[in-house]
Amino acid sequence: MSYKKIGLAVFIIILAALIVALTWQNSTDKAPAGEIFGKTITAKQFRDNYDYTRTLAIFRFGELFPKFKMFLDLKSQTWDQILILEEAKRRKITATKKDLIEYLAKNKAFYSGEKFNLELYKRLIRQALKTDIATFEKSVLASLTVEKVFKDATSGVGITDEELLEEYRAENDKIKLSYALIPLDKSIKEASASDSEISDYYQKNKSDFIVNNAVNFEYVELLYPPDAGVQKKVETKYKGKAILDDFKKSKDLKKSAEKYKFQAKETGFISLQDPGNNIDWPYEQLIGFFEMPEGEIKEPVETEKGYLIVLSKKKLSEYTPSLDEVKSKIREKIIARKALDSAFKTAQEYIEKIKTSFNGDKASFDSGLTALSLKVEESEPLSKKLAASMLGILPDAEKQLFVLNNENRLSPPLKAVNGVIIAFLNEFTPFDPKKFSEEKQAFKEEFLAGKKEIAFKEFLDNLKKQAKMKTYTFGWFKEEE
Helix (H) / strand (E) containing 116: strand 115-116
Residue ending a domain, among 319, 346, 361, is 319
Same domain, 119 and 216: no
Domain span holding position 167: 31-171+432-481
> Tell me, what amino acid is at 27?
S
Give the 3-state secondary structure of 435-476.
HHHHHHHHHHHHHHHHHHHHHHHHHHHHHHHHHCCEECCCCC
Of residues 337, 287, 336, the one with CA closest to residue 310: 287
Is the CA virtual torsion 193, 194, 200, 205 positive or negative?
positive
Q: Which pLDDT belongs to residue 208? A: 87
Same domain, 372 and 454: no
Phi then psi for residue 124, to 5 deg, are -65, -40
CA distance linking residue 78 with residue 57, whole number of Å: 11
How big is the CA angle at 283 (ends 277 and 287), to the nearest 5 degrees?
Answer: 110
The answer to the question of residue 206 being in a domain is no
Same domain, 300 and 228: yes
Is the Cβ–Cβ distance between 81 and 142 less than 8 Å? yes
**CATH number for position 368:** 3.10.50.40
Residue ending a domain, among 388, 414, 429, is 429
Same domain, 167 and 178: no
DSSP class per residue in 74-89: HHHHHHHHHHHHHHHH
Is the Cβ–Cβ distance between 339 and 187 less than 8 Å? yes
Total number of residues shown for the chain: 481
Same domain, 260 and 382: no
Of residues 288, 281, 284, the one with CA closest to residue 305: 281
Is the Cβ–Cβ distance between 460 and 83 less than 8 Å? yes
CA distance linking residue 245 with residue 265, whole number of Å: 18
Torsion of CA 359, 362, 363, 364, to 10 degrees: 30
DSSP class per residue in 170-221: HHH-EEEEEEEEEESHHHHHH----HHHHHHHHHHSGGGG-EEEEEEEEEEE
Interaxial angle between packed helices 433-467 and 161-172, expressed in degrees from 0 to 180 and rounded to the nearest 10: 110
Q: Which pLDDT belongs to residue 60? A: 87
pTM: 0.72
Is the Cβ–Cβ distance between 470 and 35 less than 8 Å? yes
Any idea what DSSP says for residue 376?
A: P
The answer to the question of residue 204 being in a domain is no
Same domain, 300 and 278: yes
Torsion of CA 47, 50, 55, 56, to 10 degrees: 150
Report the 10 Å Cβ neighbour count for 310: 24
The answer to the question of residue 200 being in a domain is no
Residue ending a domain, among 295, 319, 343, is 319
**Across-strand partners of 423?**
179
Same domain, 299 and 154: no
Of residues 366, 383, 360, 378, the one with CA closest to residue 429: 383
Same domain, 388 and 468: no
How many angstroms separate the first and last alpha carbons of the chain? 49
CA distances from 441 to 168, 321, 480 (A): 12, 48, 43
Mean pLDDT (10-residue bins), the chain, 481 residues: 53 50 50 84 89 90 81 85 93 94 91 90 89 92 95 95 94 95 85 93 91 89 87 91 94 94 92 81 83 86 90 88 91 93 94 91 92 93 94 93 90 94 94 95 96 95 85 58 53
Is the Cβ–Cβ distance between 198 and 331 less than 8 Å? yes
The answer to the question of residue 360 being in a domain is yes
Same domain, 337 and 189: yes
Same domain, 405 and 361: yes
Per-residue burial over 370-405, b if 16 or more Cβ lie within 10 Å, else e, is eeeebeeeebeebbbbbbbeebebeeebbebbbebe
The answer to the question of residue 199 being in a domain is no
R_g of the chain computed on alpha carbons: 30
Structural domain count, the chain:
4
Per-residue burial over 82-105, b if 16 or more Cβ lie within 10 Å, else e, is bbbbbbbeeeebebeeebeeebee
Same domain, 227 and 279: yes
Same domain, 306 and 346: no
